[in-house]
Homo-oligomer: A and B are copies of this chain.
Amino acid sequence: MTENDIFRALADPTRRAVFEKLAAGRMNATALREGMAISQPAISQHLSVLRTARLVKEMREGRFVFYEVDPEGLALVAGWMAKYRAYWPARVDALKDLLKDMDQ
């Protein structure tokens, strides 16, 4: 789970889509696959990459494996971002919203 693992994991649009789906709530691999034009092994491989990056974590339950967002990976992205905070533009609304949410 290095910075490299994370950014390489996030570089693929399909993986970001998977991650986004999981952000809505935990889900098993088959449910995750629904609506995506992709094979079962492909999803499995993507999940493996995301898991290595600690962007998701798995919870085995019988023959199902539920996946959910792992905050650890996000924290590392945030850590990377923090290094460049001097360059964060004040005008970016997204950041302001961010701040508001965190300030509670």
Q: How many copies does the complex hold?
A: 2
- Complex interface bits, A92-104 against B, C-beta within 8 A gives 1, otherwise 0: 1011011101110
Mostly, the A contact residues are: helix
Is B7's CB under 8 angstroms from A10's CB?
Answer: yes
Q: Which of A4, A72, A85, A94 has the most CB of B within 10 A?
A: A94
- Pick the residue among B3, B74, B87, B89 that contacts A84 (CB under 8 A): B74
The stretch of A29-37, A39-47, A75-83 in contact with B is: A75-83
Is B71's CB under 8 angstroms from A85's CB?
Answer: no
User: A89 and B71 in contact (CB under 8 A), knowing A10-B7, A83-B23, A84-B23?
Assistant: yes
Q: In the A-B complex, list the 9 residue pairs whose CB atoms are closest, starting with the nearest.
A: A11-B11, A79-B94, A71-B89, A75-B92, A7-B10, A82-B98, A69-B87, A7-B11, A8-B11
